[in-house]
Amino acid sequence: MDLASQLRGCLSLAVPKKGRLHEQCLSLLKGADLVFRRKNRLDIAMVQKLPVVIVFLPAADIAKFVGDGNVDMGMTGEDMIAEAGVDGKVIRIAELGFGKCKLQVQVPQDDGPKTVEELVGGRIVTSFKTLAEKYFAEIDKRVLTEEELKEGKGTKIQYVSGSVEVACALGLADGVVDLVESGETMRAAGLHAISTILSTQAILIGNKHPSNPELVTKISSRILGVVASQKYVLLNYNIERVHLKQATLITPGRRAPTISPLEEGDWVEVQAMVLKDEVARKMDELQTVGAHDILVFNISNCRV
């Protein structure tokens, strides 16, 4: 059966076939119960129980296939969407909370320029040619005269597909535009950042004219539930009603806390979703206002 036949009648969801977002996207699919079996050397897999096809594409191409093609949904970086020039052609369904990094202008640490203005007229190497050209075109307009621009004295942007960070050391560039996550690779190459073009993370996007809008909503809900379960825990505690207002200000929940009366006296049980990185502080504050039996439960999955 050819690719067109496999896609017919199915919702298509594109995920990165490799790279920094690949494993986390697969983890999201697993958590959303989008179970599939991918055969060796094939970039398409049928999901069990649902008419969904997973399509494995380079992360840089996903936004183009969703925005200009007929792929229904995709997971990729915000930087890839901007670089593909389809920002207004896709629906931004949700941020996925991983793959966070910055697209930055980097120069040699020891003897490089101190500002991006000093790079005007120089050589920039990047794998984000569209974004770099747009960014430096604005810088060039501020620094150069119209006559200088007409004479071609603007900044030169050159595309390379990989190993961008070594371009300065190997004499190909005066500066580079590249993604920075931890900064280790940048520092190892003797570079440092002097400007940030954009901050990015993985997001879920959709086609403006999906083949099955109801199924898009269902898959989106599942994926968002997994994302929420990774960010939140369920905080459970008992408190006297007289202190309830103070306590619910500490734990307002995503919508509102769940409050249940207890049989003993004027006590209530409260449950609320709390961000994982805030839970220790919230527990301390609850104890201060009189909460007892404060428990934390991990959320394996949810719908939000």
Note whether 121 and 84 are same-domain residues: no
Residue carrying structure tokens 């050159």 = 158
pLDDT of residue 103: 97
pLDDT of residue 4: 59
Note whether 65 and 206 are same-domain residues: yes
Note whether 163 and 111 are same-domain residues: yes
* pLDDT tens digits, one per residue of 248-281: 999 999 999 999 999 888 999 999 999 999 999 9
> What angle (nearest 5°) sits at the alpha carbon of residue 154, between those of residues 179 and 134?
40
pLDDT of residue 39: 84
* pLDDT, average across residues 117-134: 96
pLDDT at 104 over 90: yes
pLDDT at 2 over 60: no
* Contact by Cβ (8 Å): 177, 54: no
Structure tokens at 103: 């697209």
> d(Cα 192, Cα 183) in Å, to the nearest integer?
8
pLDDT of residue 289: 97
Q: Comparing 274 with 88, which gets the higher pLDDT?
A: 274
Note whether 40 and 165 are same-domain residues: no
* Structural domain range at position 258: 232-298
* pLDDT tens digits, one per residue of 144-173: 999 999 999 999 999 998 889 999 999 999
> What angle (nearest 5°) sits at the alpha carbon of residue 192, between those of residues 175 and 127?
45
pLDDT of residue 95: 94
* Beta-ladder partners of 91: 206
Note whether 89 and 105 are same-domain residues: no
Note whether 42 and 105 are same-domain residues: no
pLDDT of residue 87: 84
Note whether 107 and 194 are same-domain residues: yes
Note whether 254 and 188 are same-domain residues: no
Confidence of residue 114 (pLDDT cuts 50, 70, 90): very high
| Beta strand pairing call for 101-108 and 191-200 | antiparallel
Domain count along the chain: 3
Mean residue pLDDT across the chain: 93
Note whether 80 and 106 are same-domain residues: no
* pLDDT tens digits, one per residue of 37-65: 888 778 999 999 999 999 999 999 999 99
> d(Cα 184, Cα 280) in Å, to the nearest integer?
30
Structure tokens at 225: 């539930």
CATH code of the domain covering residue 169: 3.40.190.10
